[in-house]
Amino acid sequence: MSTKKVEYARLVTAHSEDLYRYAIWLCKDPTLAQDLTQETCLRAWKSLKNLKDHKAAKSWLFTILRNEYSRQFARYRPNFSTVDLEFLEKKDTQNDTSTEAFALRMALEELAEEYREPLMLQVLGGFSCEEIGTLCGVSTGAVMTRLFRAKQKLRSILAPQSSDIE
Amino acid sequence: MQCIQFQKNYAADPNALSQHLMDHKKNCPECQWFADEVSKIDDSLVNAFKIEVPKYLNKSLLQIPEKQDKKAYYSGFVKFAMAATVILVVGMTFFLRSKPLYEPNSTQFVYEHISHEPEALAATEPVKHAVVRTTMSDFGIAFNSPVGKITHVRICPIGNTHGLHLVIEGKNGPVTLLFLPTLHINQKIPVQQYEFFGYITPAEVGSIAIIGGANEPLEKIETRVIEAIEWL
């Protein structure tokens, strides 16, 4: 196996699950998320020589995924009238269906995009504020502020009585 | 003040706290409680998105390089096949176009044509200049300088095409000139059949057969003709 293939296999093994989960969160659809992950890895394979710093491999992959999502799926508007209801039921079977998880996802949906994305990159990708700043094109300080406000907002939605503490 | 700083930093990134803020947490019950609350939210978030990844996804992703290699191979093979086909077609076209229609039997054709028109060799009277000029012009050539007394001129079917049949008076008898624009040859082909001696020589367009009797100085005639001829 060539060095490139070994490196690619290492990247996929280490990061494919995080990529897929992030893709799920972006697409809200397992099938689209798989397509997005496939396309991300395909692009990563094709441009693996561009990855200079292997420590930054994960953020590099997430950048590819975000770009690919913007390119392919941002304008995707499914025609809901043609979607089978049974299929819709099956779509969410892989998610955590507990009440707490449902409430949390609903709370996340209430967050503004600028707060939600850094939070999801931290939760799903495990990125530092600096890495999130690079991915989103904002300063580290701005990321910290957004994360703080995002969690503050979540606390106020999920446990209103406890969010008064500051 | 330190509580606000701690809570902002902890909420943003619990793993990037300064030693100073970590020390503050140890001595501040309120911040300890805040940290627990944030940690619960973080854990809940992680759990909420612990989505099961399809088992085949990783395998499918790992197969991408092989699929790309195959794709590249087939793409390369298709490109190669297409290039080979184009080269073959171009080669065949070039070969067929450049291949003389009667090259293998060109000397035979020349001999047969001359021997089947004995009247052409028998003529001794010069053909009228206007007739020569018109016939040659119809064929697409002209003489810019005299080549000798022309006793016969005619456009004849030779092989699968046409040639201009000229007879001029030579030093030792009649000399036949056959202008064959579609017969492409790379070098002189000698013609020696019975009483006919000469050769077919490459010309600016196609070739010219120059046939006379034995001992006829054909090279001189050739030089004269080549200098005089103009392809219209």
Instruction: Tell which of A66, A95, A124 closes a domain.
Output: A95
Residue A64 CA from chain centroid, whole number: 12
- Identify whether residues A5 and A87 lie together within a single domain: yes
- Show residues of chain B in contact with A119, CB under 8 Å: 45
Maximal CA-CA distance, chain A = 58
B80: distance to nearest CA of chain A, Å?
22
- How far apart are the C-alpha atoms of B204 and B23, rounded to whole Å? 100
pTM for the whole structure: 0.53
Cβ <8 Å between B12 and A38: no
- Identify whether residues A6 and A60 lie together within a single domain: yes
Residue A125 located in a structural domain: yes
Cβ <8 Å between A145 and B8: yes
Confidence of residue B98 (pLDDT cuts 50, 70, 90): low
Residue of A nearest to B34 (CA): A165
Give the pLDDT confidence score for residue A41 in this predicted structure: 93
Give the pLDDT confidence score for residue A53 in this predicted structure: 82
Give the pLDDT confidence score for residue A164 in this predicted structure: 46
Concatenated DSSP letters of B82-118? HHHHHHHHHHHHHHHHHS-SSGGGHHHHHHHHHHT-H
- Identify whether residues A32 and A110 lie together within a single domain: no
Give the pLDDT confidence score for residue A75 in this predicted structure: 60
A83: distance to nearest CA of chain B, Å?
22
Instruction: Tell which of A76, A95, A114 closes a domain.
Output: A95
Option in B12, B37, B64 nearest A129 (CB): B12
Tens digit of each residue's pLDDT (9 = 90 or more) over A80-115: 544 454 544 444 445 566 777 777 778 888 888 889
B40: distance to nearest CA of chain A, Å?
10
Average pLDDT over every residue of B138-155? 89
Cβ <8 Å between B11 and A165: no
Closest C-alpha among B190, B143, B189, B186 to residue B164: B143
- How far apart are the C-alpha atoms of B112 and B165, rounded to whole Å? 13
- Identify whether residues A86 and A139 lie together within a single domain: no
For the domain that residue A59 is a member of, what is the CATH number?
1.10.1740.10
- How far apart are the C-alpha atoms of A159 and B82, rounded to whole Å? 68
Residue A164 located in a structural domain: no
Confidence of residue A24 (pLDDT cuts 50, 70, 90): confident
Residue B115 CA from chain centroid, whole number: 42
Average pLDDT over every residue of A12-27? 89
Residue of A nearest to B40 (CA): A155
- Identify whether residues A88 and A106 lie together within a single domain: no
- Identify whether residues A91 and A101 lie together within a single domain: no
Question: Can you tell me whether residue B230 is helix, strand or coil?
Answer: strand
- Show residues of chain A in contact with B47, CB under 8 Å: 96, 100-101
Give the pLDDT confidence score for residue A38 in this predicted structure: 93
| Predicted complex ipTM | 0.73
- Identify whether residues A70 and A87 lie together within a single domain: yes
Is the CB of residue B178 less than 8 Å from the CB of residue B167? Answer: no
- How far apart are the C-alpha atoms of B207 and B199, rounded to whole Å? 10
Report the residue of B43, B51, B68 to disrupt the A interface, i.e. the one with the largest count of A CBs within 10 Å: B51
Give the pLDDT confidence score for residue B147 in this predicted structure: 87
For the domain that residue A140 is a member of, what is the CATH number?
1.10.10.10
Average pLDDT over every residue of B19-43? 88
Average pLDDT over every residue of A20-35? 87
Residue A14 located in a structural domain: yes
Average pLDDT over every residue of A126-153? 89
What does pLDDT average to over chain B?
Answer: 85
Count how many domains chain A has.
Answer: 2
**pLDDT surpasses 70 at A39:** yes
Average pLDDT over every residue of A54-71? 89
Question: Can you tell me whether residue A18 is helix, strand or coil?
Answer: helix
Q: Are strands B189-193 and B174-180 parallel, antiparallel or unpaired?
A: unpaired
- Identify whether residues A32 and A72 lie together within a single domain: yes
What does pLDDT average to over chain A?
Answer: 80
Closest C-alpha among B151, B196, B200, B193 to residue B178: B200
Average pLDDT over every residue of B71-84? 80
**pLDDT surpasses 80 at B1:** no
Q: Look-up: residue for tokens 């950048």? A: A63
- Show residues of chain A in contact with B48, CB under 8 Å: 96, 100-101, 104-105
Give the pLDDT confidence score for residue A77 in this predicted structure: 56
- Identify whether residues A102 and A149 lie together within a single domain: yes
Domain that holds residue A146: 96-159
Give the pLDDT confidence score for residue A89 in this predicted structure: 45
Q: Is B56 on the interface with A (CB under 8 A)?
A: no
Q: Is B50 on the interface with A (CB under 8 A)?
A: yes
Q: Is B130 on the interface with A (CB under 8 A)?
A: no
Average pLDDT over every residue of B113-123? 82
The C-alpha angle with vertex B119 and arms to B116 and B120, in degrees rounded to 5, equals 85
Least confident of A22-31, A70-79, B197-206: A70-79
Residue A165 located in a structural domain: no
- Identify whether residues A31 and A82 lie together within a single domain: yes
Least confident of A144-153, B6-15, B44-53, B137-146: B44-53
Residue of B nearest to A48 (CA): B65
Instruction: Tell which of A43, A60, A95 closes a domain.
Output: A95
Average pLDDT over every residue of B7-24? 86
Least confident of B51-65, B92-106, B168-182: B92-106
Query: C-alpha distances in angstroms, B229 versus B137, B166, B172, B204?
Result: 11, 13, 23, 9
Average pLDDT over every residue of B201-220? 89
Cβ <8 Å between B38 and A17: no
Give the pLDDT confidence score for residue A165 in this predicted structure: 44
- Identify whether residues A83 and A107 lie together within a single domain: no
- Identify whether residues A90 and A100 lie together within a single domain: no
Option in B37, B47, B53 nearest A17 (CB): B53
Is the CB of residue A151 less than 8 Å from the CB of residue B40? Answer: no
Angle at which helices A99-110 and B29-48 cross, to 10°: 100
